[in-house]
Structure 1
């Protein structure tokens, strides 16, 4: 089960499930994380032990991989939507929501945009909310598997801004 979890299809399945729950207003990270976290922690422990031993890190899909490469700005990778609304929004409502969600979004808190846009129960926004992490996750998977980015080896606090958290979680890469 652990080795099956460290595959790109399993990353896609977990990402789709998490964002599917969010699209109905259910905290997807809590639901999916409660099931996947034990496996993610085993993968992370394998990477941490390998890093301590000075050997190559075996796993890609440990929990920090999701945090720093799939969920930039929170579940659904909403930082792009937040920045778009803030700086390019045409309606007063969109600009206001974007500005209200900007600072929390930098720190991976996206409830203001999820419930304020709203993404919840909104088919127009649910589609990119589900597909964007699939794209970022796929790109990150290949960048990691090709050695362009180090594999994650520790848990950085989830409220760090994305680039800082990713830098720390990958062992300062």
Structure 2
């Protein structure tokens, strides 16, 4: 097994096994599954003609036959964003990606992903609301309107373009000179 693959196996947070023709015949797939099971990471069997067996036989798996790549990705997204093993890290990453958006369109796309998360914790929305104004790229109503829809669900104040105006504080010292 290549060094790069081993590094990935020991740093992954989730493991998707695409169960299809040739999976069982591979010299590596069952070993990779075993590492995932041993590390107790989220395992998502993707069923493409082969049912889960062996170590992952207890998992139902996600049926991919008849679905396009986008639909499979959506299914994986939903599983990762709801599972207790991955939800927190995934949400933290998604929130930070929103805050680091280089364009308003990028921010909008990432916000769309956030809107799909079921049971989004209020503190994530509060954190976003507090930090969004640090990114001038998000200073557009095209981004702020969908963000405000999320904020209002949590009974939080919305943001406006004026929210990006920084309050200038004057600092005085007590020294007479």
- Provide TM-score, normalisation by structure 1: 0.29
The structure richer in strand per residue is 2
* Higher relative contact order structure (alpha carbons within 8 Å, sequence separation ≥ 6): 1
- Greater radius of gyration (CA): 2
- Provide TM-score, normalisation by structure 2: 0.28
The structure richer in helix per residue is 1
